[in-house]
Structure 1
Amino acid sequence: MSDAFNIFSFKGKMKTLHLSWIAFFITFVVWFNHAPLLQAIAASLGLAPAEVKTLLILNVALTIPARVIIGMLTDRFGPRIVYSALLAVCSIPCFMFALADDFVQAAIARFLLGFIGAGFVIGIRLVSEWFPANELGTAEGIYGGWGNFGSAAAAFSLPVVALIFGGDDGWRYAIGITGVLSLLFSVVFYLNISDTPKGSTYFKPKHIGAMEVTSKGDFFFLLLMKIPMYAALALLTWKLSPAGVKMLSETTAMMCYAGLVLLYVYEVSHVWKVNKTVFKQPVEEMHRYKFKQVAVLNVLYFATFGSELAVVSMLPLFFAETFELTPVIAGMVASAYAFMNLMSRPGGGWLSDKFGRKPTLLILTAGLAVGYFAMSLVDGSWPLWLAVVAAMACSFFVQSGEGAVFAVVPLIKRRLTGQIAGMTGAYGNVGAVTYLTVLSLVDYSTFFMVIAATAVVGFVALLFMEEPKGHIAEVNEDGSVEMITVG
């Protein structure tokens, strides 16, 4: 791990970083491959506007539980196998979507494709294995920012690919090609990646199925923080029920609600099974971690990535309606928001490495609140260039904040990094579902104000976070203890 941090190198840890962000980039291309082709898809399949909106909601639905599940699998089986399998398996619903003949087939495929959105958490654990604490924020930022750019790359390239093939089926070829790309790269990734540098130990959790906590209070805190994830899935069910877009019948919706309650009860029993020992004997001080650290990061990712997913979905329409632009021009103007990812997210990680995790997050979260407050004031009387500048400034704080959040995640408890990243990542999707639901009920100005208000809540929560410092203890298979420097 002594080799220098050189972005132009393709050896050792840098090779791992480059292959990781490319894998993440491909997952985002596949996850958002429908967005730029929606008009062609709607015309080809004869979809009503409500059905198009339903596809957008279904696309993010499964990602909430998927990120938690994939986080657990990553900690247990290692990033190499899990990422390769995810890329290969998720090419199947991608091909299903490309071959869909009606709304129901497209909806099922889109729902299953939400699983590929969980790929992000795998790379967080993998990168943390290869980079020391003083480079981790920058490395995770590059992984997240360059990978995240896959959605913008899809928006630019896939309509061109569809045009090249031409005809009514052009969109099918474009989407099919992304599935082929995912399948091929799964092999490349498997053949070229190793979970840790040579001689390093890959620490695994003692149990799979629930996150370990190290105190009684944290046991109840964990159960409390699980509730919003179930609430977001209930919100999605409501959106698809007769009260919303009428995709589910009243009976099916009620069965979904009952299923979510039973699932939560099952999860409570599983958390108890994994953590009941903390009620019998206290965990040694050196092996403890504070779950409040995870909870604060969850809230911050709700506001940052949650708002990014929601805003990317609505920004072209916002610019088109506010400034009377054509859809093409509005799309290009709105893409400025996603473009910021290339530099902002690595920038947030780098600032964290340089100036400390907590101070960086405090400044970026304050900027986030101010940025969205400014966006709430944008109307037709503003010059267009100023509105674009406001959107880009807001985007800088959003994406730098995401980078800064994941500069902290791997420093809490190494063997649980996948699970922590999974839960924090899932909160981003919970935020997206919440904000998109708010958007369907209020005007644009109120929508931006709501995000600004949640950023203020995030700022207050952040005051309770502790700067990672010193070491975290992990136990080797032979029982010896290894100390990992975190700050």
Structure 2
Amino acid sequence: MSSPVKVLDFANPSIRTLHLTWFAFFITFVVWFSHAPLMAHIKEAFDLTTPQVKALLMLNVALTIPARIVVGMLVDKYGPRVVFSSLLILSSFFCWGFAFADSYEMLALFRFLGGFVGAGFVIGIRMVSEWFPAKQVGMAQGIYGGWGNFGSAAAAMTLPTVALMVGGEDGWRYAIAMAGLMSFGYGIIYYWRARNTPKGSTYFKPKKTGGLEVSSYRDLYFYIGMTVPLYLALAILSWRLSPTNLGLLSASATYSMYAILIGLFIFQTSQIWKVNKEHLRDGVPEIEKYKFKQVAALNWAYFVTFGSELAVVSMLPLFFMETFELGAVKAGLLASGFAFMNLVARPSGGYFSDRFGRKRSLSFLIAGLAVGYLVMARVDATWMIPLAVLATMCCSFFVQAGEGAVFAMVPLIKRRMTGQIAGMAGAFGNVGAVTYLTVLSFVDASTFFTIIAASAAVCFVIVQFIDEPAGQMQEVLPDGTVQLIDVA
């Protein structure tokens, strides 16, 4: 039986590390979404068109997809303390650049660069996995993810007030700049207070960087194939910014982006081969093996859970406005229930995973969110508003609890590559958001929810191929000594 995480036990260094780390993640989300609640002021200040606003929103998530892969590699090599501190400090400069931009081109550039802060989530996954045993890691990861994710809601609730208090036409600039200042200051605090592992523990690092180490040629081809959706998502973003859509990129720039993406895919494939060629040729010792299907299944599970969350949060206020003929403020408040569920849903998903089993919990939650989206597909003007909000929040619980269940399993695959595995799963979440939002641009809301439900049904089948983590994970110390890490 799993032990609950006692979040108020501040005498416990693991709990202190958890609080220190979820708040770092919280700040990254404040910075990442600092522009969203102030977009009306930004639109007025620069006299932006609706396509230009949409372009900014898309640029905000574009860099996050490759950034999560890169940051996953960095955290496995250098440790979460240095990488999280560096990310917070670097992101503050991107935040300030956006806050004090004097042209649309500058806004677009710094919104694109600011998407890098969205990779912060990956870092804490490795940090929390180092400080909590398998019987508690699910709930600890859920607290980290759920409470940190609340940063976007906190930005929406506080930054407009700050802008109003400062006053004047530049109030929005100082509100966003304040988020950057918070990020810079906490980056220093995190470096000062955080430690990569408990005293006496070893921080295992990959033998090589550039890609995941896999255990067979079959897994190598599987891994390369699983990188394709990441590039397709970036190609879709490029297409959305092309002259045939939002018009931010010229035709030549769009084709250049496609060429760059093909080049990056070829380069990444070569790096994956470089990392794996020697030990695959020599034969991977049994002690080093793991199944890549575990990683792939969790990627698709996060595609459905976090991907649908990002997409639905983006469209839900407008859905309530149009369905029930509500004002923008009231519709926004009703729709906010979807994001608020993060505070309890994601930790609950982690706890279910610790308590009732990883595969069983994830299967149940994926099935639940499929049913939830089918119910939401039936919401129309004939529904009572409280009932529609209840359906939304119930669906949201399964979505975000599912996210918690995914990352309850991520640290139990291969400890020394947890950052990279988390980075790939996190990137697939963003791929899901791009995919679902692209679908939404072609269909109505009811069809949109139905398509998400159908994709969740497919994901339910995929999850059945997961092997329940059992026994112990084996890592080799630099002196050749084998260390066993419980995963059950």
1:239-278 matched pairs, under 5 angstroms? 239-278=240-279
Contact 2:5–2:139 (CA under 8 A) maintained in structure 1: no
2-side partners of 1:198 and 1:5: how far apart? 20
Q: Which amino acid aligns with 2:207?
A: K
Deviation track 1:83-133 (CA, whole Å, cap 9, x = no partner) reads 000000000110011101222111111100100000000000000000000
Where do 5+ consecutive residues of structure 2 fail to align? none
2-side partners of 1:314 and 1:458: how far apart? 23
Give the drift of 1:7. 0.7
Judged with a 3 Å threshold, the aligned counterparts in structure 2 of structure 1 residues 206 and 279 are, in CA distance, closer, same or farther, namely: closer
Partner of 2:208: 207
Partner of 1:400: 401
SS at 1:484's partner residue?
strand
Q: Which amino acid aligns with 1:209?
A: G
2-side partners of 1:396 and 1:62: how far apart? 28
Partner of 1:289: 290
Contact 1:287–1:472 (CA under 8 A) maintained in structure 2: no
1:8-407 matched pairs, under 5 angstroms? 8-11=8-11, 12-407=13-408
1-side partners of 2:442 and 2:424: how far apart? 27
SS at 2:101's partner residue?
coil
Q: Which amino acid aligns with 2:290?
A: Y
2-side partners of 1:155 and 1:117: how far apart? 17
Q: Which amino acid aligns with 1:474?
A: E
Of all paired residues, the percent bearing the same amino acid is 59
2-side partners of 1:90 and 1:285: how far apart? 42
Give the drift of 1:278. 4.5
Q: Which amino acid aligns with 1:220?
A: Y
Q: Which amino acid aligns with 2:109?
A: I
Give the drift of 1:277. 2.5
Partner of 1:6: 6
SS at 1:90's partner residue?
helix
Deviation track 1:377-429 (CA, whole Å, cap 9, x = no partner) reads 11111111111011101100000000000000000000000000000000000
Partner of 1:412: 413
2-side partners of 1:4 and 1:68: how far apart? 31
- Which deviates further from its counterpart, 319-328 or 193-202? 319-328
The alignment's TM-score, normalised by the length of structure 1, stands at: 0.98
Contact 2:4–2:139 (CA under 8 A) maintained in structure 1: no
2-side partners of 1:161 and 1:28: how far apart? 17
Q: Which amino acid aligns with 1:475?
A: V
Give the drift of 1:4. 8.7
Where do 5+ consecutive residues of structure 1 fail to align? none
Judged with a 3 Å threshold, the aligned counterparts in structure 2 of structure 1 residues 194 and 279 are, in CA distance, closer, same or farther, namely: closer
1-side partners of 2:329 and 2:458: how far apart? 36
1-side partners of 2:172 and 2:196: how far apart? 37
Contact 1:215–1:278 (CA under 8 A) maintained in structure 2: no
- Which deviates further from its counterpart, 408-417 or 330-339? 330-339
2-side partners of 1:279 and 1:126: how far apart? 29
- Which deviates further from its counterpart, 393-402 or 96-105? 96-105
